[in-house]
Structures are given as C-alpha cells and as structure tokens.
C-alpha cells in the first residue's frame, strides 16, 4: 500500500520547484490523483509534463501504484 | 523493442486518424481511465478506432515501450502520440482536440 505522503514526497524530491497535492478520494489506497505545480513545466508540452511526473514515480508505478490521475500546472 | 511488435503498432496507429490503445472495448471499457477517454471521444463526436491491450500481452507491454509512457490508455492522432486520458480531457476542455480531429 502506498500513501499520499509518499507520493507527494517522491514527486517533489524529483521535479524541481514543485508542489504536489495528492488525493485519494475513495480513501482506498488505490486510486490517486496528483495535481502538480512547477516552474519546471513552463513551456513544456503536456506529454512532457506528465512524463516527468510518471518518471518520478517509476518504481512505484511498477510496484504498488496502479491508478494515478495527473494534472500539471505551470507557474 | 521487438521489430515485429513495433511494426504491428505502427500499422495500428496508421489505420485510423484517431487511434487508442485501451483496456477493454468502447462498449465495455475495463478501467476508469479507458472509459473516460471513450466518453471524451463520444461527447465530441470524434470517430476513433481502438485496440484492446488485454487481447495481446505483447502489444500491452510493447506499447508502453513504444511511446515511453507507462500507462494505458494511449491516444494517437495522425500517427502522433497525444498522451493518456488526463491529457485528452485537458485538450478537450481547451478546445484543442476539436481542432486536431477536423
């Protein structure tokens, strides 16, 4: 099982100047949503932005994170 | 990646202007994200073709490597990788999807 705190910590430690808000609305430890804001996204395509979030969670996505909705914001 | 799998994926993507690799079928999506993407296309009256990754384990693994994208669904327009369900929703909200599929 993975927690919102773990996901937040991982994203923020990998993506420069980022702030990540993670929710697990059903409180099931399965379906997460990440809203990630970073100046590092500025000028990058949505695919590149989402790819950065995915790569920050590469290990988790293989292991214990199976449903993650992503929203990225430039600052 | 395996040449035969890559060729198969190339051909699928080229088979329709809008193509999606998904879990299940448009009639019976097998995951929430695939269902969400189907809804976006239906609501926008966008014609699309799909491939069910559950029907072929090689394609299921291969498509992730092909587009360097770890999740499914994956959407392609005019042979170009567009992203997953979240990006499709964002593009539809901004009106960009409508322009791309014209």
| Residue of A28, A31, A46, A72 for testing the chain B interface, max B β-carbons within 10 Å | A46
Each residue of A17-38: b (16+ CB within 10 Å) or e?
A: ebebebebeeeeeeebbbebbb
Q: To the nearest whole angstrom, how far is the Cα of B72 from the nearest Cα of chain A?
A: 10
**DSSP codes of every residue in chain A:** ---HHHHHHHHHHHSTTEEEEEE-TT-SSSEEEEEEEEGGGTT--HHHHHHHHHHHTHHHHHHT--EEEEEEEE-
- pLDDT of res. A25: 87
Span between the terminal Cα atoms of chain A, in Å: 31
ipTM of the modeled complex: 0.91
Distance, CA of A7 to CA of A23 (rounded, Å): 10
B-chain residues within 8 Å CB-CB of A71?
A: 86, 90
- pLDDT of res. A1: 84
A48-64 residue pLDDT tens: 999 999 999 999 999 99
Is pLDDT above 90 for B102? no
B16-68 residue pLDDT tens: 999 999 999 999 999 999 999 999 999 999 999 999 999 999 999 999 999 99
The residue extents of the domains of chain B are: 3-101
A7-25 residue pLDDT tens: 999 999 999 999 999 999 8
| Residue of B29, B36, B72, B86 for testing the chain A interface, max A β-carbons within 10 Å | B86
Find out if CATH 3.30.300.90 is the number for domain A4-74. yes
The residue extents of the domains of chain A are: 4-74
pTM score:
0.94
CATH architecture of the domain with residue range B3-101: 3-Layer(aba) Sandwich (3.40)
């Amino acid at each position: 099982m993975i927690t919102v705190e773990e996901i937040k910590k991982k994203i923020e430690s990998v993506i420069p100047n980022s702030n990540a808000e993670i929710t697990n609305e059903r409180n099931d430890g399965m379906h997460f949503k990440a809203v990630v804001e970073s100046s590092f996204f500025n000028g990058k395509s949505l695919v590149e932005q989402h790819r950065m979030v995915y790569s920050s969670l590469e290990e988790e996505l293989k292991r214990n994170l199976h449903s993650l909705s992503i929203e990225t914001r430039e600052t | 990646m395996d040449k035969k799998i890559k060729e198969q994926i190339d051909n699928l993507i080229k088979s329709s202007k809008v193509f999606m690799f998904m879990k299940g079928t448009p009639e019976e999506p097998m995951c929430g994200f695939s269902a969400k993407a189907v809804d976006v296309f239906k609501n926008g009256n966008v014609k699309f073709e799909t491939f069910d990754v559950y029907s072929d384990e090689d394609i299921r693994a291969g498509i992730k490597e092909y587009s360097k994208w770890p999740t499914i669904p994956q959407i392609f327009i005019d042979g170009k990788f567009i992203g997953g369900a979240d990006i499709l929703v964002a593009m539809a909200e901004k009106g960009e999807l409508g322009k791309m599929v014209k």
